Structure 1
């Protein structure tokens, strides 16, 4: 497993909230999926409310 740094933003009450998170995954697609599930569950947001701008190997 590799570590990926994922950055983007999600909708909040005050507009958009930026984020940068590190996740362990086997490839970039799985890293994106983990971000969608983690940010979505933590902030009660749907996938359409989360925008991922960059995924890079750390």
Structure 2
């Protein structure tokens, strides 16, 4: 599996909160899905409240 860096933002109380996270996944699509799951789990956000930006392989 490869390491991907995913950056984006999610809706917070005071507006949009930027984030960058590192995810281990077999491809870019799975890295996006895991990021949605992680942000949703940690911050209680739905997919519509998360805006993924750039996904790059490390």
Q: Above 0.5 in TM-score? A: yes
Pairwise CA RMSD? 0.3
Shift of 1:27: 0.2
TM-score, normalised via structure 2 length: 0.99
TM-score, normalised via structure 1 length: 0.99
Task: Give runs of ≥4 in structure 1 deviating > 6 Å.
Answer: none
How many pairs were matched up? Answer: 58
Structure 1 unaligned runs (5+)? none
